[in-house]
Amino acid sequence: MQIFALIGPSGTGKSHRAIMVAHQTQSDVIIDDGLLIKGNQILIGTTAKKQSTRIGAIKTALFNDPTMAKLAADTIIKYNPERILILGTSVGMVQRIANTLNLPEISKYIKIEEVASPAEINKARLNRTKYSRHVIPAPTIEVLRGFPGILIEPLRILIGKEKGKKRQVKSWHEQSVVRPTFTCYGNMTISEHAISSIIEISTREISAIKNPGKIVINQTENGLIVEIAPAFYFGNSLSEVSAKLQTIIKDNVEYMTGLSVKSINISIKNVQMKRTGFRR
């Protein structure tokens, strides 16, 4: 097993370039901020970006929790990757992570300056300090599934893949941009009333629905469960309109709040005739 390390100060774009460096080093697994990532899958871990304090984030990134450290070490043994890329702010940090997870000595250290230009590093710092944007090198659907409570949006990068000596094939890889709870903006909570308002406005996008009716929201660890009982206008396919409504609600709520929607249950209890003609 060969271990690589990508090193750079916080906010210089290490996570953003993790997939590219993993491709260059042919690393099968990325260890970043408490997560073990293999391809498009988060194997295990709790992202440091989900912690409520910076101290908690550091402890998570270092696998200070013995239970999580053992789980990570066992997972590495299970998948037995040939190469692993560890991200850290210093040589000491990546060495500590490697030691905690019982990994071999790090064979190569790569500085962020070797894979990013000064302009790119400055842009990364601006995104971190001004906008508090952090990157997780995993697809949005994976991050939403595991960590539904952080604001999120997808970010696609193009990676070149050599095929023979004359031809180069490029492919898109998705990672996720998040805003952690420990940022300078402080903690943020989203009330059920705000979510209900988003759902109510979403129903207005469908002309076959008269009103949203009663809306009930249950927040679980795996995401939101929405119960809605809208009033439909007569003459429309209830199954088609319901499916469309589920899609619109899910897209709008997840985009506007960053929360994951686990399920949307629709109860049709009212079908009414649609008024036509002029009102006096």
- Quote the Cα angle for 131-21-151, to 5°: 30
In the chain, the domains with their CATH numbers are 2-179 (no CATH), 192-272 (3.30.70.1350)
pLDDT in tens, 47-80: 555 555 566 667 778 888 888 889 899 999 999 9
pLDDT in tens, 201-218: 999 999 899 889 999 998
Q: Could you give the angle at which helices 192-203 and 238-257 cross, rounded to 10 degrees?
A: 140
Is 280 exposed, middle or buried (CB count within 10 Å of its CB: 0-12, 13-18, 19+)? exposed
Q: Residue 185, Cα to own-chain centre: how many angstroms?
A: 19
What gap in Å lies between CA 181 and CA 185, rounded to an integer? 8
Q: Cβ contacts of residue 176 below 8 Å, gap of 6+?
A: 135, 136, 138, 139, 140, 142, 143, 152, 153, 154, 155
What pLDDT was estimated at residue 130? 59
3-state SS, one letter per residue, for 135-163:
EECCCHHHHHHHCCCCEEEEEEEEEEEEE
**Better-predicted residue by pLDDT, 126 or 7:** 7
* Average confidence (pLDDT) over 29-43: 84
* Average confidence (pLDDT) over 33-55: 70
What pLDDT was estimated at residue 157? 46
* Average confidence (pLDDT) over 168-190: 53
SS3 105: coil
**Quick one: what percent of the chain has pLDDT higher than 90?**
25
Amino acid at position 230, single letter: P
**What are 89's two structure tokens?**
């702010």
